Copies of this chain bind each other. A is one copy, B any other.
Amino acid sequence: MFFPATKYVFGRGVENKVAEELDAFGMKKPLVVYGKGSVIKSGLLDRVRKSLDNAGIRYAELGGVQPNPVDSKVYEGIEIAKREGIDSVLAVGGGSSIDTAKAIAAAIPYDGDFWDFFCGKSKVKKALPVGVVLTIPAAGSEGSGNTVITKLDGLHKLGMGSDVLRPKFALMNPELTFTLPPYQTAAGITDMMAHIMERYFSNTPEVEITDRIAEGLLKAIITEAPKIIAEPENYDARANIMWSGTLAHNGVCSGGREEDWATHGLEHELSAVYDVTHGAGLAVMFPAWMTYALQENPGKLAQFARRVFDIDEDDDYKAADEGIEKLKKFLSSIGMPVSMKELGIENPDVKLLAEKVTENKGEVFGNYIRINRDIAEKIYCIAAQ
C-alpha cells in the first residue's frame, strides 16, 4: 500500500503560503516546532510568525529542537500542546523538527506514553495533522510517515511510522537552503542517498521499475551535489537536491520490495553514542556495510556499480568492489568522512556498538544480508579502519 498523501508546494517564496495551507487543512491552532539555529538567525521563523499573526492564526511554540532529536523535547511539546489546546503541529526546519512534530502529533490523541509507539508497544492510529516549512533537505521526513527519536535514558535511537503521520503539506523553497553550511549540505545528500540505498539493496527479484527510479535518483544526486558544493546559491541544483530528498523517502523507491535498513540501525548507535551528524555517520557506515555484504551477496551491489557508476565489468565481485570505491570517492569529494577516524572517533568501542545495535534492532537484523552481533562488530571494525 502506498498512500503518498502530502501536498508539496515547491518554489521561490512558498513559505509565505503557510497561513493559507494551514487554513486549507483546517489547522486552526498549531504548535510551531523549530530548532535553535538557522531558522531563527535567517529570520524565517519571524516571517512565519508574522504570516500567522497577519492571518489571525493563534499558535503556541516549541523551540530548541536539536539534531538527533530527543524524547525530553517531545514531552515538553506534549505538555505545551495540551496546555494550549493546540489542534495541529507545524514544523519549521529539517528532519529533527519534523520528527519531533510527528511524535507530538501522535502523542496527543493517545492515552499512554508516546514512547510506546517507538518501542513497539502500540501502533499510531490517529494523529494531529502536521504541516512543514522545510529548510534542510536530508531526512525526507516532509514526505514520509516516519519519525526517529532518541530516548535519553539509555540512548535508544528508534524509529516508527504510520501513514497518518505523513505531513498534510510541505512548503519547499530551495532558496531557504542556500545558507546551509557545506558539511550539513553534504550530510543531507548522504542521508538521502542512504534512504534510497536502504530500499535498493533488496533480495526481492523483478522490481525493475523501482530499481530504475532508485538508480536514476542516485545518478541525479551524484550529478547535482558537486554543483551545490561549488556554488551554494545555485537554485536549480538546490531544487533538484531538495526534491530528491523527498522522493528518496516518500515511498516511491519502495514499491513492492523488502527493504534493508541495517545500515541506518548501525549508524543510529554511532549517533547515539558519539553524537555524530546522522548523514556523516551514514557516509562511514554505508561503505562499511557494503564491504561486508560484498562477501555474502554481491549481486545487487554489482548492479548498483554498473548502473549508478557506469562500471563496465562482467565479474559481479569486482564490479561491486569498484562501485564501493567510487561511492567512497564521491562521498569524500563532497567533504564527507568515510571512516570512523575521519569522523573523529579514534578508538571506537565496537563491542558496545554491536551490543546496542542488536539490543535495539533485534538479535538478527537486516534483509539483504542478515546481521547478528558478531557481524555487526565486524562491520564496525571495517568502519573503524
Contact = CB atoms under 8 A, between A and B. Distances in A.
B4 A206 contact: no
Nearest to A9: B1
A217 B212 contact: yes
A219 interface: yes
A244 B8 contact: no
A209 B237 CA distance: 10
Interface in A258-302: none
Q: Which of A8, A208, A220, A252 counts the most chain B CB atoms within 10 A?
A: A208
Contact of A252 (B207, B237, B252): B252
Contact of A5 (B5, B206, B247, B252): B5
A75 interface: no
Contact of A209 (B2, B208, B244): B244
Nearest to A204: B236
A205 interface: yes
Count the copies.
2
Contacts of A2: 7-8, 10
A255 B246 CA distance: 12
B1 A209 contact: no
A10 B207 CA distance: 14
Contacts of A233: none
B220 A239 contact: no
Report whether over half of chain A's contact residues are helix, strand or loop; otherwise say mixed. helix
B205 A236 contact: yes
A223 interface: yes
Contacts of A206: 236-237, 239-240
Contacts of A10: 1-2, 255-256
A315 to B, nearest CB: 21
A276 to B, nearest CB: 28
Contacts of A244: 209
Q: Which of A209, A247, A256 counts the most chain B CB atoms within 10 A?
A: A209
Interface string A217-249: 101110110000000000011011001100100
Given A209-B224, A213-B216, 10 more contacts: A1-B7, A1-B9, A2-B10, A205-B236, A206-B237, A207-B236, A209-B240, A209-B244, A212-B216, A216-B216
Interface of A: 1-10, 205-213, 215-217, 219-221, 223-224, 236-237, 239-240, 243-244, 247, 252, 255-256
Q: Would you list the 10 A-B pairs with minimal beta carbon distance, nearest first? A: A212-B216, A206-B236, A216-B216, A3-B7, A212-B220, A208-B220, A2-B8, A5-B5, A209-B220, A209-B240
